[in-house]
Amino acid sequence: ILLPTQVRLAQIIAMIHTASVLHEGVAAGSEAAHGNKLAILGGDFLLGRASSALAALGAAEAVELIAAAIANTVEGTVMRVATSSPAEAWASYVRRVYLGGASLMAKGARAAVVLGGCRGQLPDVAYAFARNMGIAQQIMEDVREWEAGGSDVTAPLLCAWKVNPKMGALVQRGLADEADLDMARDYVEEYDGRDRARDVAHDYAAQAREVLAALPESGARTALETLT
């Protein structure tokens, strides 16, 4: 049974996520949001409403968790992937994915468990499960974007770079022009970047499932396992 505070928390998280999508679209210069003052104002409005509702929850630990997640989301929106080496680039990418979305999922899950009165290892289990699922979800989203003709330094390109170190100069230029984009798409295709990225996403989902082994068997655990 969900408590009213947990339902309200879910609404707050949804508002924060929507606000971050609006702001990220402007920051990325997407055609739908670039230069659109309404997108910025709409995101600010949702973030303000979410902050007010968060303060009204009256649960200090939950408020602290979501406030930290908001700060993480802002940091993730402006963060750029480091490109000095494949290993550093991948670590930087995963960090950005965590800050930009997985943090909100993970800290939101932990906050929901805390609001339910759970203590001990359960908040840690909720956090770890949602963190891994959040990273897996974003990697799969990046795969879908590359299937549609992607243009960002994300998992499929970085996975191809791990196989072909000669791609370094291309990645470090940040896919500066159409020629770079065409070359990057060829590399992603040639070195199975999308499939390799899918495998990584599946690994994160498997880690999320493994975390659930710490929970007693129940309908709730089974439902979470189906998400992986």
Euclidean distance between CA atoms 32 and 44, whole angstroms: 17
| 178, pLDDT greater than 80 | yes
| φ, ψ of residue 121 in degrees (nearest 5) | -85, -10
Answer yes or no: are the C-beta atoms of 67 and 60 closer than 8 Å: no
| 102, pLDDT greater than 60 | yes
Answer yes or no: are the C-beta atoms of 158 and 93 closer than 8 Å: yes
Residue type at 153 in one-letter notation: V
Q: What is the pTM of this model?
A: 0.90
Q: Summarize pLDDT for 188-210 with one digit per residue, the tens.
A: 999 999 999 999 999 999 999 99
Q: Which residues contact 214 (CB under 8 A, 6 or more apart)?
A: 121, 125
| 41, pLDDT greater than 90 | no
The pLDDT assigned to 117 comes to: 92
**Which percentage of the chain shows pLDDT scores above 90?**
68
Answer yes or no: are the C-beta atoms of 174 and 154 closer than 8 Å: no
Euclidean distance between CA atoms 39 and 77, whole angstroms: 15
The pLDDT assigned to 223 comes to: 94
The pLDDT assigned to 33 comes to: 47
Average pLDDT over all residues of the chain: 90
Q: Summarize pLDDT for 152-161 with one digit per residue, the tens.
A: 899 999 999 9
| 34, pLDDT greater than 60 | no
Lowest model confidence (mean pLDDT) among 98-102, 105-109, 115-119, 121-125: 115-119
| 150, pLDDT greater than 50 | yes
The mean pLDDT of 58-83, rounded to a whole number, is 91
**Reported confidence tier of residue 10, pLDDT bands at 50, 70, 90:** very high
**Reported confidence tier of residue 21, pLDDT bands at 50, 70, 90:** confident
**Reported confidence tier of residue 58, pLDDT bands at 50, 70, 90:** confident
Q: Print burial letters for 109-138: b (CB count within 10 Å at least 16), e (below 16).
A: bbbbbbbeeeeeebbebbbbbbbbbbbbbb
DSSP string of 128-161?
Answer: HHHHHHHHHHHHHHHHHHHHT---SSSHHHHHHH
